[in-house]
Structure 1
Amino acid sequence: MINYQARSPSYSSTSDSDEEEITEEGLRAIRSNATHPLIQKKASDLSTSIQLITSDNDSLINEEDEEEDSSNPFIDTKLSDYYSRVYETSQYECRHLFDPNFNWSKHQDKIIVHKLDKVIALFACLMFTGLQLDRGNLPQAISDNMLEDLNLTTNDYNRGNTIFLICFLLGEIPSSILSKWIGADRFIPFQMITWSIVASCQCFLQGKYSFFLARALTAVLESGLIAELVLFLSTYYKAKELPIRLSWLWVTSTMVQVCGAVMAMGILRLRGFLGWEGWRWLFLIEGLITLVIGVGAIYMLIPSPIELVDRGWFTEHEVKIIVNRVLRDDPTKGDTNNRSGVTLKQLVRVFLDYDLWPIYLVGLIAYIPASSIGTYIPIIYRGAGLTTFQTNLLLIPHYILHITFLLQITKLSERFNQRALVAIILPIYSIPLLFIFKYNRDRLTTTGLWLLSSLIAGAPYIHAICVSWVSRNSGSIKTRSVSAAVYNLIVQAGGIISANIYRDDDKPLYHRGNTHILLFGIALLPLLLSIKAYYTWRNNSKSKVWNSMTEDEQYQYVHNTPDEGNKRLDFRFDS
């Protein structure tokens, strides 16, 4: 069940004229939607009847053939009529497949999700591969003496990373708006093809100004892709299924870093071939790989689920299941067309939404310690006397640790339906390691330095949890793409901070920088606890007002209120 309780009000009017026969589907819907304030009362009144009827019938239903989506909110004909009008008004591209009475089995549902994973999620991961390949190969280039070859200092390297992050940050919102207006199926391939060309041209860098320009152009063209992919995936998956699929994106990102490190060990050995340094070949080859993925994205990305039939990937019956299972999970996913733009009013509302800023703050500081260490691992290792080959080889273990933590912590969050309390694992894990790194840095052996920095850089990654958290707490598909972009914008702001933690005047042990990342690690703990308390208080406050209303007032509010998204009284925040 999603947290937007107004999306699943499987109740009927209490008046005699509106009273209808209670079917088996209706009974199951009432039971499964019992979290809704109105339904709780109905379920209590009908609990005896339900037990008597279902005790006989449940034994006759084979689990394989049982209707999967028994929590169908559209059993309420008034609600289904209301959303039919909404879908028609918005010109929702799959509105002709909306069917409140359509049924399918659990077995069919599992098959559909499995096929979606092999097509939609796999395509998204492949596009994420192109993103990470071109924005994540700079550490490998640095390990091949790129700074020395271009006469760049550590501060120049910091400025280049800062320029990248600022441009990435500034491009997030415009990119997301353009993608929503033009369509992700058109805009993403354009993005990938153009940035891959720029990334390949980094093989011609001559000094710090060309380095700065290349970082700026690459960032602008890459910006927005993450938010666009989040919205793309949310079209096909339920809210509870989305975090795991998002975690696959960052698993892909880390796998690309692992494979990139291995690939770099071979490519960098081309130093001297045709008079080029190894890092020049690295930029050229990996940029061309992304170009191939970008061209393939023209075919891989589709504007809406109905196109799955035209491509021959799904049958029309399967697409009908996809559309209805997603709408029953979140009816608002059909209140906009995939070519509709975001208005200025919606944009301003997302920026000013105080209920989302707590999660934005997590995105600002949560990743600074691991990111700072991860960015400077090549420099730290080379400073410890390791070779280019040894440096790239030693990067691999922390990537593997990162993948393991990412998958497990995301699964844990969904299993216990907790965000803040599961995310607290990150500071609990990191703070002792950061403390040791700060106060024992000068006494660490090369092995100890590698082990400790790998453990810090591979810390539990809560990004997938936070992205889905923002999506759920936005409360509307109309603003979800913008809120995802704002969250990523704030994360990039945190990246700007992490890119400037270590400075030339602080090397080689970086005592000041290590103090800063320790403080950021400590600050995350009370922030997450405060967020848990805040959302609990907000939900209790809404429930108090909601429960003071009569059932008729609640019904009228659901259908007529001007309140939108997470400001509705029947919306409950995930915490």
Structure 2
Amino acid sequence: MSPLQPRKDDSQTTGSESAHSLTKGSVIEVDVKSLKVDDLCDAEPEPFKLYNFLFRRHLYRPKDLDAIATRRSVFDDPHLAPHYWPKPEYENIHRFDVNARWSAREERALLRKIDWKVMLWAAISFSALNLDRGNLSQANSDNFLPDLKMTTNDYNLGNTVFRLAFLCAELPSQLVSKRLGPDRWIPMQMSAWSIVTMAQFFLTGKTSFLVCRALLGFLQGGFIPDLILYLSYFYTKYELPFRLALFWISSNVCSIFGSFLAVGVLRMRGVHGKEGWRMPPSPTQTKTWFRPKGWFTDREEYIATTRVLRDDPTKGDMHNREGLSIGRLWTCVCDYDMWPLYIIGILFGIPSATPGSYLTISLRNLGFSTINTNLLTIPSSVGNMISTAAITIVSENFNDRSFTSMSENVWMLPFLIALRTLPDKVNPWRFYVSDKTYC
């Protein structure tokens, strides 16, 4: 059998001659003699760096596209393989073959297909979330609060209710996603919050406003980690960081689009007397009645499954319809190595959240028109994309994450002081520059 050819075995076993699992209690037997380990790629891939991608892209071009790209993993060690073997319920186990070999050309073609069919729609889904989250700020530019006979304090309360509901929904959403599968739960979330968003047309006052904010927060909580979990089914740890960078940049693109969209929608003020998708569960489950041929060939399914498990064998210890247990959750809570990350997650974004939330109200109070207020939010989104790329390059070149990330607060401090000390009657453009540079 050619080293570049996988076994054509579609049975619900490992699909491999070299290593196979036999369920005898919790024991997995591995055929050690037929393991082939002399034709594997030992070199680790070049870690992705934005600077290299922009200016030294040749580093990411393989010298020989027909060379074997299959990388060595724990599955090639007969003593370690049984401990990392995927559980029998793992949905892709019939496409896992430790003797499968593929070329750099095949892997690159598969990765491009995943980018277009999985990553693109993940970014569009995330943009839909941000478009919905940003519409309240845009509505504020068109006398939203006076129309509903609400005050700024009511708006503050609505934001608080939204964030509390969002936070409270994070863990339950993850539990539901892990049990149903993100491929089912994510479309359900999007459909639910779309209905509530459309219902905002019928807001009449403070009570209906607060109810809508609570429902939206609860329905949107957990969406981002759900989507990232889904992406991890298709990408390795070397490929996912760059895709997540694009994932977050898509929110800025959405903000720009939303601002232009708001300009058109808010021009409809006075009209009629009113103020102005299905996801595949895994790489081997893309075939369905409306997509009979699926996204990938059998060969590509072997590569997609085996490369992900070789990169991270722990992805095979749960299947995509397996719920989380209380014991696993408690283990995560007790892992003190994760506590700094939890703290960062809680504190992240606090300094810039308030100026960003009140920008449109502030600009309207300074005398800018509704249309100009929405258009003036666009430069900051472009600047945010540029600064994100710049900070990423600095972080990669100095190989530092903590101090580079903390520099955000140092950058914000002088502009926060300026916003606090500016006189009551100030040139609108001076305030705008201070606020937008701060955000």
Could you say which TM-score interval applies, normalised by the shorter chain? 0.7 to 0.9
- Tell me, what secondary structure is at the counterpart of 2:376? helix
- Tell me, what secondary structure is at the counterpart of 2:98? coil
Cα 1:432/1:19, change in 2 over 3 Å: farther
Partner of 2:367: 385
Partner of 2:274: 276
1:227 deviates by 1.0
Partner of 1:474: none
Q: Distance in 2 between matches of 1:68 and 1:210?
A: 57
Of residues 211, 221, 239, the one that matches 2:219 is 221
Contact 2:131–2:255 (8 Å) recurs in 1? yes
Structure 2 gaps, min length 5: 1-31, 46-61
Cα 1:318/1:422, change in 2 over 3 Å: farther
Q: How does 1:221-370 map to 2 (within 5 A)?
A: 221-278=219-276, 296=277, 299=278, 301-308=279-286, 311=291, 312-370=294-352
Instruction: Give TM-score scaled by structure 2 length.
Output: 0.82
Cα 1:441/1:373, change in 2 over 3 Å: farther
1:431 deviates by 2.7
Q: Distance in 1 between matches of 2:434 and 2:82?
A: 59
**Residue type at the aligned position of 2:83:** Y
**RMSD of Structure 2 on Structure 1 (CA):** 2.5
Cα 1:128/1:19, change in 2 over 3 Å: closer
- Tell me, what secondary structure is at the counterpart of 1:270? coil
CA deviations over 1:105-147 (Å, ceiling 9, x no partner): 2222222221111111111112112211222100111110010
Contact 2:351–2:409 (8 Å) recurs in 1? no
Q: Distance in 1 between matches of 2:94 and 2:129?
A: 35
Q: Distance in 1 between matches of 2:226 and 2:392?
A: 21
Of residues 156, 166, 175, the one that matches 1:168 is 166
**Residue type at the aligned position of 2:224:** I
Cα 1:229/1:411, change in 2 over 3 Å: farther
**Residue type at the aligned position of 1:106:** A
Q: Does 1:117 align with 2:105?
A: no
Partner of 1:46: none
Partner of 2:11: none
Contact 2:35–2:76 (8 Å) recurs in 1? no
Cα 1:264/1:277, change in 2 over 3 Å: same
**Residue type at the aligned position of 2:126:** F
Q: How does 1:526-537 map to 2 (within 5 A)?
A: none
**Residue type at the aligned position of 1:70:** R
Contact 1:308–1:319 (8 Å) recurs in 2? no
Identity of aligned residues (%): 39
CA deviations over 1:382-404 (Å, ceiling 9, x no partner): 12111111110100000111122
1:351 deviates by 2.5
Q: Distance in 2 between matches of 1:118 and 1:257?
A: 22
Partner of 2:376: 394
Contact 2:95–2:306 (8 Å) recurs in 1? yes
Contact 1:168–1:223 (8 Å) recurs in 2? yes
**Residue type at the aligned position of 1:73:** V
Q: How does 1:116-155 map to 2 (within 5 A)?
A: 116-155=114-153
CA deviations over 1:529-565 (Å, ceiling 9, x no partner): xxxxxxxxxxxxxxxxxxxxxxxxxxxxxxxxxxxxx
**Residue type at the aligned position of 1:144:** D
- Tell me, what secondary structure is at the counterpart of 2:80? helix
CA deviations over 1:160-193 (Å, ceiling 9, x no partner): 0100111111111111101110111222211111
**Residue type at the aligned position of 2:284:** I
Q: How does 1:141-220 map to 2 (within 5 A)?
A: 141-220=139-218
Q: Distance in 1 between matches of 2:264 and 2:34?
A: 71
Structure 1 gaps, min length 5: 1-17, 34-60, 279-295, 458-575
Q: Distance in 2 between matches of 1:404 and 1:377?
A: 20
**Residue type at the aligned position of 1:430:** M
- Tell me, what secondary structure is at the counterpart of 1:451? helix
**Residue type at the aligned position of 2:39:** E
Contact 1:255–1:399 (8 Å) recurs in 2? yes
- Tell me, what secondary structure is at the counterpart of 1:92? coil
Contact 2:69–2:102 (8 Å) recurs in 1? yes
Contact 2:178–2:324 (8 Å) recurs in 1? yes
**Residue type at the aligned position of 1:434:** L
Q: Distance in 1 between matches of 2:100 and 2:393?
A: 30
CA deviations over 1:294-352 (Å, ceiling 9, x no partner): xx2xx2x1111102356422212112111111111111011101000000111222223
Q: How does 1:534-553 map to 2 (within 5 A)?
A: none
Q: Distance in 1 between matches of 2:248 and 2:423?
A: 30
Q: Distance in 1 between matches of 2:397 and 2:298?
A: 32
Q: Distance in 2 between matches of 1:142 and 1:443?
A: 21
**Residue type at the aligned position of 2:147:** D
Write 1 or 2 for the structure with the bigger share of helix: 1
Contact 1:98–1:323 (8 Å) recurs in 2? yes
Contact 1:247–1:407 (8 Å) recurs in 2? no
- Tell me, what secondary structure is at the counterpart of 1:71? coil
Cα 1:414/1:73, change in 2 over 3 Å: farther
Cα 1:396/1:149, change in 2 over 3 Å: same
Q: Distance in 1 between matches of 2:37 and 2:239?
A: 29
1:360 deviates by 2.0
**Residue type at the aligned position of 1:25:** D
Instruction: Give TM-score scaled by structure 1 length.
Output: 0.63
Contact 2:171–2:222 (8 Å) recurs in 1? yes
Cα 1:415/1:112, change in 2 over 3 Å: farther
Q: Distance in 2 between matches of 1:317 and 1:20?
A: 21
Partner of 1:450: 432
Q: Distance in 2 between matches of 1:22 and 1:315?
A: 24
Cα 1:229/1:329, change in 2 over 3 Å: same
Q: Distance in 2 between matches of 1:66 and 1:444?
A: 65
Partner of 2:71: 70
